Chains A and B, each alone.
Chain A
């Protein structure tokens, strides 16, 4: 089956109510073009998961696409808080299950290895654990180590329906390279039923074969491959482009109230036909070129 497709087709493959693992880390390699397209297509009732909540998740929550969020806390770094996520938690409209970075990563890891559960030292003695026990009951448990007799907290695996990744380079089969730190992305893809790859560059499989040690996502996990430059804008992609401070500040300001965020969505999401119109809207090539990363610095 041909995997190389458009963002529209890839997003359309996700039914409302799916569990989607998102790739962003506060303001870097966020699936922003994906989030904007999912909002335009009117996808609802999603369960989102990510180790650290990021701008992609916040936008989907703010647009009303999300019912449930499984995450380890998050922010937009110095730019601000996850206003939409926080508001959803404060007014009770978002079902948030809050862990730590490692406990979400271990839930993906268990899923990626096909294990029934994963023991962890984190969370014990904290209100995070008390809250998780109250809210979900069944996602954490205690077990006796059969070898030592010690008591361990164990976590249920996360098995997302689809993992969405923003990567640097991939081929048409979805064999993908991620430059720089990968946070939870590899475990997410391996724990999920399938993965959508959104790549800054599509190259030939021969190119991949030349440096196959860079391949962190094997194509066999991938259902759709989309070539989409600046797919993380206004967040950064290491060695490709820097974050767009002005546009992130605009987002933070807009998310301070539901009304101002609605106006933002009307302008930057519903008001544009697709990713290409969005890129024109924020300044086109002339502006985007100023964000291009220095090859030595990587930003």
Chain B
């Protein structure tokens, strides 16, 4: 087995595989950007990539510091507005996949990007929602990308910025939302959600890890099926694209 790739590269490749050709994808910054460009340059050339501020299908030649960097807008097909992207495309129901990162998530895929600590006592305020809550609420499915750490995969998160399956079962539907998270990709494993209870469920573990490595470093117990395969490692061509074309200066992959 070839271990000659970083966990971030595997996460990006796994994220890319979740996107089908011709899908419309709303993307936050960081690893989701790499995964989306990777999908577009391999098996999904007809996908549409959206950035919330009003950017469709840009083709950056320089890595940017964030969505507010014109480097990220280069060669876009559309430059418009929040109401255009998050309103008439996302809220209208035309986004297939939302791609989100965060500070913390719980077993139902609820995402916190707002604060760490006790919201009624001592806390540190972070970024907040931006378009994350909108994407989590209106995309047909969402993919979450997180570091695998008990401080990030928690039983109870400090703040629900973007809802997943809320309190499990049919609580998301009761809150007036369809869709929901389909995958959580960490640097140790890929998770889905149990069809009825909506608890996080191990789908595959990354080569080099054991199931104990995965479950022992989480703040809650995921559903573990009897047979858990290994995650497919990134292909040579995917690695080449990540390293040479998409993120040569390691702006996104860290």
Question: Can you list 7 A-B contacts with CB-CB less than 8 angstroms, sorted by A residue number?
Answer: A25-B53, A53-B128, A86-B124, A103-B134, A105-B86, A152-B176, A184-B81
Size of interface on B: residues with Cβ below 8 Å to A? 54
Whether B172 is near chain A, meaning CB under 8 Å from some CB there, is yes
Whether A74 is near chain B, meaning CB under 8 Å from some CB there, is yes
Which single residue of chain B is at the shortest CB-CB distance from A248?
B65
Q: Is A74 a contact partner of B130 (Cβ separation < 8 A)?
A: yes
Distance A126 CA – B172 CA, assembled complex (angstroms): 10
Choose, from B3-11, B156-164, B190-198, the stretch at the interface.
B156-164
Q: Is A27 a contact partner of B66 (Cβ separation < 8 A)?
A: yes
> Using Cβ atoms and an 8 Å threshold, which residues of chain B touch A90?
123-125
Whether B1 is near chain A, meaning CB under 8 Å from some CB there, is no
Whether B230 is near chain A, meaning CB under 8 Å from some CB there, is no
Seed contacts A100-B130, A121-B177, A243-B65; 8 additional CB < 8 Å A-B pairs: A71-B128, A81-B127, A98-B129, A125-B166, A125-B177, A128-B129, A181-B79, A297-B62
With contacts A101-B52, A122-B137, A124-B163 known, is A299 near B81, CB below 8 A? no
Whether B114 is near chain A, meaning CB under 8 Å from some CB there, is yes
Which single residue of chain A is at the shortest CB-CB distance from B54?
A181
Choose, from B35-43, B69-77, B218-226, B239-247, the stretch at the interface.
B69-77
> Using Cβ atoms and an 8 Å threshold, which residues of chain A touch B74?
297-299
Shortest CB distance B5–A (Å): 24
Q: Pick the contact of A184: B82, B90, B162, B177 (CB < 8 A).
A: B82
With contacts A81-B126, A89-B125, A125-B166 known, is A100 near B87, CB below 8 A? no
Q: In B54-101, which residues have CB < 8 Å from any A CB?
A: 54-55, 61-62, 64-71, 73-74, 79-83, 86-87, 90-91
> Using Cβ atoms and an 8 Å threshold, which residues of chain A touch B161?
73, 126-128
Distance A242 CA – B69 CA, assembled complex (angstroms): 9
Distance A13 CA – B128 CA, assembled complex (angstroms): 32
Q: Pick the contact of B86: A102, A152, A153, A182 (CB < 8 A).
A: A102
Give the size category of A's interface with B: 35 or more
> Using Cβ atoms and an 8 Å threshold, which residues of chain A touch B66?
26-27, 75, 77-78
Distance A77 CA – B63 CA, assembled complex (angstroms): 13
Whether B132 is near chain A, meaning CB under 8 Å from some CB there, is yes
> Using Cβ atoms and an 8 Å threshold, which residues of chain B touch A152?
176
Q: In B153-181, which residues have CB < 8 Å from any A CB?
A: 159-163, 166, 171-172, 175-177
Distance A99 CA – B162 CA, assembled complex (angstroms): 11
> Using Cβ atoms and an 8 Å threshold, which residues of chain B touch A79?
65
Whether A238 is near chain B, meaning CB under 8 Å from some CB there, is yes
Q: Is B87 a contact partner of A106 (Cβ separation < 8 A)?
A: yes
> Using Cβ atoms and an 8 Å threshold, which residues of chain B touch A126?
133, 160-163
Whether A180 is near chain B, meaning CB under 8 Å from some CB there, is yes
Whether A199 is near chain B, meaning CB under 8 Å from some CB there, is no
Shortest CB distance A86–B (Å): 4
With contacts A86-B125, A100-B131, A121-B138 known, is A180 near B79, CB below 8 A? yes
Whether B113 is near chain A, meaning CB under 8 Å from some CB there, is yes
Partner-B contacts on A (CB < 8 A)? 25-28, 51-54, 71-75, 77-79, 81, 85-86, 89-90, 98-103, 105-106, 109, 120-128, 151-153, 180-187, 235-236, 238-239, 242-243, 293, 297-299
Q: Is A151 a contact partner of B125 (Cβ separation < 8 A)?
A: no
Interface of B is mostly: loop
Q: In B14-50, which residues have CB < 8 Å from any A CB?
A: 29
Q: Is B176 a contact partner of A121 (Cβ separation < 8 A)?
A: yes
Shortest CB distance B136–A (Å): 8
Shortest CB distance A247–B (Å): 14
Q: Pick the contact of B138: A122, A238, A299 (CB < 8 A).
A: A122
Which single residue of chain A is at the shortest CB-CB distance from B117?
A90
> Using Cβ atoms and an 8 Å threshold, which residues of chain A touch B172?
125
Distance A261 CA – B161 CA, assembled complex (angstroms): 29
> Using Cβ atoms and an 8 Å threshold, which residues of chain B touch A28?
68-70
Q: Is A182 a contact partner of B54 (Cβ separation < 8 A)?
A: yes
> Using Cβ atoms and an 8 Å threshold, which residues of chain A touch B229?
none
Q: Pick the contact of A26: B68, B81, B129 (CB < 8 A).
A: B68
Whether B119 is near chain A, meaning CB under 8 Å from some CB there, is yes
Q: Is B65 a contact partner of A27 (Cβ separation < 8 A)?
A: yes
